[in-house]
């Protein structure tokens, strides 16, 4: 008999979209063992469900904190940011570092006046005098906040090649100089990235990072990797340990040819000549004279941006702007 002559299939044999319909008959185990079969069963099942071993691994935050799972944490710390950066088509970044303590001029001025009032109230307090001296120096450095903000605006206005792709400002997502650079890019209507880090004390991202591009990392190492894999330049403003850490690591990677060279601009030569005496290192023989050429100095946002554009023009970087946005 031909298949067509066998007649219609019984309803029980017809294919169905089983996943769209509830089962007519529940599977075994869909309900816990009832107490009328074993009075101790409900309590035993409750203990099992409450045990950490029963939690799915991807939802068990205690398990994910085990030392033995560090490799997995490193992987997902990297992968989440990587996938979201790819989805947002972030390909070229200018990384900006600088002190979290350098505030915008108005805030720095308020802090200075508070310190002056405190010294006036307790003129014999040496700690108050020390804080006042530091407040004066930080107030003088607050001009760098405006330089960083202007630099962020210049980068935010730039385009790469005929496609009009953006070069994106990337910072550590914190206050101070990082806030200023993100703010300038935001002023220009551009996307801007912040790579925050979890610390023992609570901290907040600055409000000028694009919400979908603000990340919170567990590992400094993974954060450092994301700073550099898309970097087309590094701009370092006056800063402390964090700024020095990122600067020296980048210099070392370029010096040892572990990463392609990118322009490194130090803003504020008076500060950097005291914080980082490169001539002393050369004269002591701990670095070579050619290593002095790995970075340059700038004083203004326009000067820093032009240095970056000229470096890439000389290097033949395809599509990179040949001049600053304001030219």
Q: Token match 């607050």: residue?
A: 142
Q: What is the DSSP string of 138-178?
A: HHHHTHHHHHHHHHHHHHHH-EETTTTEEPEEEE-S-STHH
Mean pLDDT of 48-63: 90
- Outline where DSSP puts E strands in 198-280: 214-217, 231-236, 264-267
Percentage, residues of the chain above pLDDT 90: 76
Name the DSSP class of 83: H
**CB-CB contact of 178 with 194 (8 Å):** yes
pLDDT for the residue numbered 6? 59
* Residue that has been written with the tokens 């935010």 in this structure: 156
Q: Pick the more confident residue, 12 or 256.
A: 256
Residue 94: Cβ within 10 Å count: 29
Is 232 within 8 Å of 320 (Cβ atoms)? yes
Q: Comparing C-alpha atoms, which of 165, 163, 99 is closest to residue 134?
A: 99
pLDDT at 9: 58
| Interatomic CA distance for residues 295 and 235, integer angstroms | 10
Residue 325, pLDDT score: 46
Average pLDDT value for the chain: 91
Give the list of residues 6+ apart from residue 97 with CB closer than 8 angstroms, or none: 171, 172, 177, 178, 234, 235, 236, 237, 239, 242, 243, 246, 247
What is the C-alpha separation between 180 and 91, in angstroms, rounded? 22
How far is C-alpha 174 from the chain's CA centre?
9
What pLDDT is attached to residue 121?
93
Pairing of strands 93-97, 192-197: unpaired
Contact 173, 162 (CB under 8 A): no
Confidence of residue 326 (pLDDT cuts 50, 70, 90): very low
pLDDT at 8: 59
pLDDT-derived band at 20, boundaries 50, 70, 90: low
**Could you read off the pLDDT of 187-236 as tens digits, one per residue?**
999 999 999 999 998 789 999 999 999 999 999 999 999 999 999 999 99
Mean pLDDT of 282-310: 97
pLDDT at 13: 57
The DSSP bridge pattern shows strands 165-166 and 159-160 to be antiparallel
Closest CA to 255 of 295, 283, 227: 295
Q: What is the mean pLDDT of residues 29-53?
A: 90
How distant, in Å, are the alpha carbons of 75, 148, 185, 300, 304 from that of 235? 28, 9, 14, 12, 8
CA nearest neighbour of 282 among 266, 294, 298, 300: 294
Q: Is the per-residue pLDDT at 164 higher than 60?
A: no
Res 262 pLDDT > 60:
yes
All domains of the chain, ordered by start, with CATH? Answer: 80-104+142-315 (3.40.50.450), 105-140 (no CATH)
Banded model confidence at residue 73, pLDDT cuts 50, 70, 90 = very high
- Other CB atoms closer than 10 Å to residue 19's CB: what's the count? 5
State the first-to-last Cα distance of the chain, in angstroms, to the nearest integer.
85
Residue 161 has pLDDT above 80, yes or no: no
């Amino acid at each position: 008999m031909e298949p067509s002559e066998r007649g219609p299939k019984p309803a029980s044999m017809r294919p169905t979209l089983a996943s769209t319909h509830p089962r007519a008959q529940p599977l075994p185990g869909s309900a816990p063992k009832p107490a009328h079969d074993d009075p101790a069963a409900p309590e035993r099942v409750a203990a099992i469900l409450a045990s950490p071993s029963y939690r799915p691994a991807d939802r068990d935050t205690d398990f994910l904190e085990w030392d033995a799972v560090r490799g997995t944490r490193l992987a997902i710390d990297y992968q989440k940011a990587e996938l979201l950066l790819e989805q947002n088509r972030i390909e070229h970044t200018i990384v900006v570092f600088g002190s979290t303590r350098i505030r915008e001029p108005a805030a720095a001025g308020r802090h200075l006046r508070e310190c002056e009032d405190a010294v006036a109230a307790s003129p014999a307090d040496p700690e108050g005098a020390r804080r006042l001296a530091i407040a004066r120096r930080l107030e003088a450095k607050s001009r760098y906040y405006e330089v960083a903000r202007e630099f962020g605006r210049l980068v935010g206005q730039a385009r790469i090649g005929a496609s009009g792709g953006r070069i994106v400002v990337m910072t550590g997502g914190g206050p101070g100089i990082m806030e200023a650079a993100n703010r300038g890019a935001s002023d220009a209507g551009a996307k801007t990235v912040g790579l925050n880090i979890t610390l023992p004390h609570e901290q907040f991202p600055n409000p000028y990072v694009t919400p979908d591009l603000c990340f919170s990392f567990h590992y400094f190492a993974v954060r450092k990797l994301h700073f550099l894999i898309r970097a087309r330049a590094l701009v370092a403003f006056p800063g402390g340990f964090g700024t020095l850490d990122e600067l020296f690591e980048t210099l070392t990677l370029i010096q040892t040819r572990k990463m392609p060279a990118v322009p490194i601009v130090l803003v504020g030569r008076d500060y950097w000549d005291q914080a980082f005496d490169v001539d002393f290192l050369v004269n002591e023989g701990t670095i070579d004279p050619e290593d002095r050429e790995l970075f340059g100095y700038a004083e203004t946002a326009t000067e820093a941006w032009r240095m970056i554009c000229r470096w890439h023009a000389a290097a033949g970087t395809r599509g990179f702007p040949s001049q600053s946005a304001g030219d």
